[in-house]
Amino acid sequence: MAKHADDGETTLDSALAELRDHYDSDGHGVELIEVAGGWQILTRPEYTEAIERAQLAARPQRLSAAALETLAIIAYRQPIGRAEIEEIRGVGAGAILKSLHERALIDIVARGEGLGRPLLYGTTPSFLEQFALRHLEELPRADELAIALRAPRPATPTSVPAVKDNGEAPPRAD
Amino acid sequence: MDDVALADPPRTMTPSGSEVFVVELAEFSGPLDLLLSLIRDEQIDIYDIPIARIAEQFLGRISSLKLDEAADYLEMAARLVRIKAQMLLPRREGEDVWEDPRAELVRRLLEYQQVREVVDVLERRSEERRGRFARAYSQQTIQIPVPGALKISLPELLSAVDRVLRLARKPHIHDVVPRALDVDGAIGIVRALLAIRSHAQWKDVLPRKAEPWEVLSLLLALLELAKLGELRLAQPRPFAAFEISRDSTGEAA
């Protein structure tokens, strides 16, 4: 927050705070949530079941693991091309990218340098909204992850005894 | 089947001409995922993978899953077998630097592991968000207002008609400025000249700095006299000044 927020900004902030307090204190079914650089009035999680039973709204479809992996890679490496995504996941990504694009979670943000000028993908504000993120920095930093990407231990002949593998039967090729 | 909600169903040809063979299992999202789960099951140190054992298990798994045709899995299987072969190569005595053929695979596995961790975070967040409903934004279709019945009284209509008719009837008036042409005067001048000379030029009859009306008067006078047969007009070549000559035949007549 800027220290020298002008009057408009302070008025807005206090109005938002007032609205949030209003929803929180007077037993409302909704609350004010800051998300994707804006604010949204959402129903409270404790009413999900009731709302679904009353068929007022249905939960959106869950994303597949493959789709989430692709999204995760794009979120951290954007702008990123299809080839790089496929290299990290070890699987073709065409169909998933298309589907994520259709769900407005990703968008083509640029074209890369190099052969064929590949399309580069990035996440959209809708991605932030659907994952309840105020901004991308809210995702865990790489060094906060349990397995941080660190350089592999320098392998020495002693740590990798070649004889150990020799004892095993070779896999059949067929 | 919740886990494959978004992905295409297993083994389908995409309708678009690209003909991508999408192999998607509820259990594994790719060869790296399968590999990681094998490593986890066997409680193996990721930095020291017994590659022969893992390669064999990997091959066994993909053939039991009937995934032999899945290129991505086969590629990984080939990679594992290759690494295994490299591990079997004898290392020369006294060779200090030995590059572990598994290093690249380890790097990729760790990277992929990290992706899986982010997926866990995303999954938690999206699961929490899925249970909350926002007011859906429904685009307002723009209604073009239909014009209602015309509300006008008869007198109003009549006066409107009257206004239109008056505008239409108003005559278009030009102010025509009468221009004095002195054709008779010009005829007199030409006759006087031709009384003295039998030939004359256009410029002889015309005063210097002649006004347009003088030029026109002279032209009309010449044409009039030519018609009367008092003179002849001749132009030797195009755009040349025309020559005036007394019409002797007319005179004779």
Which CATH number do you get for residue A138? 1.10.10.10
Within 8 A of B33 by CB-CB distance, chain A residues are 65
* Residues belonging to chain A: 174
**Measured in whole angstroms, how far is the alpha carbon of residue A172 from the centre of its chain?**
41
B5, B90, B102 member nearest A63 (Cβ):
B5
**Chain B touched by A158 (CB under 8 Å):** no
Q: Name the β-bridge partners of B199.
A: B245
For residue B18, the Cα-to-chain-centroid distance in whole angstroms is: 28
Q: How many CB atoms lie within 10 A of CB B123?
A: 16
Annotation: CATH topology of B183-252: Arc Repressor Mutant, subunit A (1.10.10)
Q: How far, in Å, are A171, B66, B74 from residue B70 at the CA level?
A: 19, 9, 6
pTM of the model: 0.56
Q: What is the pLDDT along chain B (253 residues), one digit of tens a residue?
A: 344 344 444 444 444 444 455 555 557 888 888 888 888 888 888 888 888 888 888 888 888 776 655 778 888 888 899 888 888 887 776 666 777 888 888 888 888 988 888 999 999 998 888 888 887 655 556 677 777 777 888 888 899 898 888 887 767 777 777 777 888 888 888 888 888 888 888 878 787 788 888 888 888 888 988 888 888 888 888 888 778 888 766 444 4
Looking at the fold, whether A14 and A39 belong to one and the same domain comes out as: yes
Can you tell me the distance from the alpha carbon of B23 to that of B240, in angstroms, rounded to the nearest whole number?
96
In a domain, A2, yes or no: no
- Looking at the structure, do residues A19 and A80 belong to the same domain, yes or no? no
- Residue numbers of the domain that contains A90: 65-144
Residue A41 and residue A105 in one domain: no
- Phi, psi at residue A110, to the nearest 5°? -165, 180
- Residue A41 sits in the same domain as residue A88: no
Annotated domain spans of chain B: 2-88+100-126, 183-252
What is the DSSP-derived secondary structure letter of residue A36? T
Is A125 found in the same domain as A71?
yes
Q: Same domain for A95 and A137?
A: yes
Provide the chain B residues 228-247 that lie in CB contact (below 8 A) with chain A: none
CB B99 within 8 A of CB B55: no
Q: Is residue A40 part of a domain?
A: yes
Domain count for chain A: 2
**Rounded CA gap, B216 and B209, in Å?**
13
Residue A126 is assigned to a structural domain of this protein: yes
Question: Which residues of chain B lie closer than 8 angstroms to A132, CB-CB?
Answer: 125-126, 128-129
Are both A42 and A76 inside the same structural domain?
A: no
Cβ(A139)–Cβ(A75) below 8 Å: yes
Strands B21-22, B12-13: pairing kind: antiparallel
Inter-residue contact A132 to B129 (CB < 8 Å): yes
Q: Which residues of B132-160 are buried (b: 16+ CB within 10 A; e: fewer)?
A: bbeeeeeeeeeeeeeeeeeeeeeeeeeee
In terms of domains, do A123 and A73 share one? yes
Q: Do A51 and B133 touch (CB under 8 A)?
A: yes
Q: Which two tokens stand for residue A13?
A: 């902030």
Inside any domain, residue A103: yes
Q: How far apart are CA A130 and CA A35, in angstroms?
A: 9
Residue A150 in domain: no
Listed by number, the residues of chain A in 32-71 with a beta carbon closer than 8 Å to a beta carbon of chain B are 33, 40-45, 48, 51, 56-57, 59-69, 71
Bridge partners of residue A107, in order along the sequence: A122
